[in-house]
């Protein structure tokens, strides 16, 4: 059987692209590599605006804004995406990210531990739940 391919990108639909773009720009400390309208492709999508960030050591992170008013905040209890996790080497790296979130004024739940590792969860402007995670040594 063919080896399953790696994740190439993760895309989050956002309610307000300007707010989310600025929030992720601050968090990632980088500018988007792409920020443009994607024209409609019949039988595929009706067009949208997308902003894409290159995340070091991982897949691309995209933000999509679709036409029309939307006020439906993310809820991981519905079917679909639960959260997006960014891999860290160890707890020390997560502690550095905890300090960075504090500097940016981003609320988080503190570092959680379980039998297999450490996680630091927080919320973006649409209530999506990113986290930093590292395995136990």
- Structural domain boundaries of the chain? 1-68, 83-137
pLDDT (0 to 100) of residue 31:
96
CA distance 77 to 11: 19
User: Domain 83-137 belongs to what architecture?
Assistant: Roll (3.10)
Quick one: 93 exposed, middle or buried, by C-beta within 10 A (0-12, 13-18, 19+)?
A: middle
DSSP string, 63-104: EEE-SS-------TTSSS---EEEE-SSHHHHHHHHHHHHHH
Q: What is the pTM of this model?
A: 0.87
Q: What is the pLDDT of residues 10-47, one digit of tens each?
A: 999 999 999 999 999 999 999 999 999 888 888 888 88
User: Domain 1-68 belongs to what architecture?
Assistant: 2-Layer Sandwich (3.30)
């Amino acid at each position: 059987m063919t080896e399953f391919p790696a994740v190439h990108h993760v895309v989050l639909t956002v309610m307000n692209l300007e707010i989310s773009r600025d929030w992720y720009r601050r968090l990632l400390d980088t500018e988007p590599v792409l920020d443009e309208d994607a024209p409609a492709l019949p039988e595929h999508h009706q067009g949208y605006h997308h902003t894409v960030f290159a995340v070091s050591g991982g897949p691309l992170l995209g933000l999509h804004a679709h036409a029309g008013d939307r006020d439906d905040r993310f809820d991981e209890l519905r079917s679909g995406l639960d959260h997006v996790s960014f891999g860290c080497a160890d707890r020390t790296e997560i502690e550095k990210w905890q300090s960075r979130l504090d500097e940016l004024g981003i609320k988080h739940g503190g570092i959680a531990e379980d039998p297999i590792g450490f996680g630091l969860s927080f919320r973006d402007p649409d209530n999506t739940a990113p986290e930093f995670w590292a395995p136990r040594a």
